[in-house]
């Protein structure tokens, strides 16, 4: 999604592997090529829900294709979100990103109208930055218009609810980046009710050595995002962060398989905002476990299992470094190294995907 060069060979390979792809507004030709290679792939255009970009305006004229819903130069001054001294909020760490007032009805309607008019080449819209706290991107400073986290969340619910029907009528699916929802009870469901799905940009692994274990706002709450959306027939995208090392990959991948269904998708990223080339393909993605035979269930404290027709998935969500738990398998299985096993020893924040003959 960072406009890196894409060869025809890459399009042919990746279009068949991926169920969804997010592109920039100016990548309509790439969207067409992906659709030609795989008519089932769903293309989404990136649009920031919460900002306008001053770098996308030159000589008083906004760019034709924007990463936002409203151009900086054409934005009504009342749509900008102001701080305690009347100053406009610029995203900390993201120069040229100016925060907008998502609770403003004029901004809401202009954002939706502009995005719909410019997104006809896509199947849907990724709405980035559906935020949950009033001081996101300006730590410790909340806008007078939304002095509490609850006030800020209500403003986002207002925007999503008030624009929902426009996107439905336009035939565009909507998925919002709901990163951090696990920290706010009920927030994921509250936002998703006005969307076609949610994206958790930081899911379970935040680096090779920073793996989310179980606690009230931890592992199970992030798995519940997928479970809740699957029950409603809604999309869930999740994105672990790791280098591809075995432990974080297997922990995230196995955890995903405990709850995933036909509306879910996962892809890792190796660094923050590392949206260049597609993530490397792993052999495990091609393993056919067959249909799930059950929902995941607990077999020991914070240890979960899900059996499939052609395999078994086990995850230990206890803290990293905690002792392995041994789980007896239902017959002979093949582990990730190709060895035959009848038991699985799974340490804290690790997972395993085991295959069986079928």
What CATH code is carried by the domain that includes residue 90? Answer: 3.20.20.70
Q: Residue 225, SS3? A: helix
Domain range holding 120? 8-201
Q: Is residue 79 part of a domain?
A: yes
User: Are the C-beta atoms of 193 and 174 separated by less than 8 Å?
Assistant: no
The pLDDT value given to residue 277: 82
pLDDT at 2 over 70: no
Instruction: Count up the domains in the chain and report the number.
Output: 1
Over the stretch 155-191, which tens digit does the pLDDT of each residue have? Answer: 999 999 999 999 999 999 999 999 999 999 999 999 9
Whether the pLDDT of residue 139 is over 70: the answer is yes
Residue 119 has pLDDT above 80, yes or no: yes
In a domain, 161, yes or no: yes
d(CA 99, CA 48): 10
353 inside domain: no
Q: What is the pTM of this model?
A: 0.96
Question: Is the Cβ–Cβ distance between 325 and 345 less than 8 Å?
Answer: yes
Answer whether residue 328 is part of any domain.
no
Mean of per-residue pLDDT scores for the chain? 97
Mean pLDDT value across residues 5-27: 95
CA nearest neighbour of 53 among 45, 44, 63? 63
Does any domain span residue 122?
Answer: yes
3-class DSSP assignment, residue 304: strand
How many other C-beta atoms are found inside a 10 Å radius of the C-beta of residue 101? Answer: 22
The tens digit of pLDDT for each residue in 41-88 reads: 999 999 999 999 999 999 999 999 999 999 999 999 999 999 999 999
């Amino acid at each position: 999604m960072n406009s890196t060069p894409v060869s025809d060979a890459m399009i042919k390979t990746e279009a068949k592997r991926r169920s969804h792809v997010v592109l920039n507004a100016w990548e309509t030709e790439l969207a067409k090529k992906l659709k030609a290679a795989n008519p089932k792939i769903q293309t989404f255009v990136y649009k920031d829900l919460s900002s306008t970009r001053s770098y996308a305006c030159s000589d008083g004229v906004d760019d034709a294709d924007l990463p936002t819903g409203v151009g900086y130069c054409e934005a009504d001054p009342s749509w900008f979100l102001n701080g305690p001294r009347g100053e406009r909020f610029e995203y900390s760490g993201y120069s040229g990103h100016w925060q907008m007032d998502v609770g403003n009805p004029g901004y809401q309607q202009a954002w939706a109208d502009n995005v719909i008019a410019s997104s006809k080449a896509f199947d849907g819209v990724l709405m980035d930055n559906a935020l949950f706290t009033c001081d996101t991107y300006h730590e410790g400073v909340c806008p007078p218009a939304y002095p509490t986290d609850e006030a800020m969340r209500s403003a986002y619910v207002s925007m999503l609810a008030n624009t929902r029907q426009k996107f439905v009528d336009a035939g565009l699916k909507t998925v919002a980046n709901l990163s951090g929802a696990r920290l706010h009870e009920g927030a994921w469901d509250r936002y998703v009710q006005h969307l076609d799905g949610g994206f958790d940009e930081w899911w379970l692994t935040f680096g090779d050595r920073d793996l989310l274990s179980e606690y009230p706002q931890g592992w199970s709450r992030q798995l519940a995002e997928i479970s809740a959306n699957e029950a409603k027939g809604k999309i869930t995208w999740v994105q672990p962060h790791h280098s591809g090392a075995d432990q974080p990959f297997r922990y995230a991948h196995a955890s995903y398989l405990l709850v995933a269904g036909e509306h879910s998708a996962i892809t890792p990223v190796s660094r923050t905002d590392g949206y260049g080339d597609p993530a490397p393909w792993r052999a495990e993605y091609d393993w056919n476990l067959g249909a799930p035979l059950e929902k995941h269930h607990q077999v020991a404290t914070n240890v979960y299992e899900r059996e499939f027709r052609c395999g078994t998935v086990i995850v230990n969500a206890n803290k990293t470094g905690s002792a392995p738990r041994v789980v007896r398998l239902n017959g002979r299985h093949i582990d990730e190294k190709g060895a035959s096993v009848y038991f699985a020893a799974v340490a804290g924040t690790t997972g395993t995907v085991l295959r069986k003959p079928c």
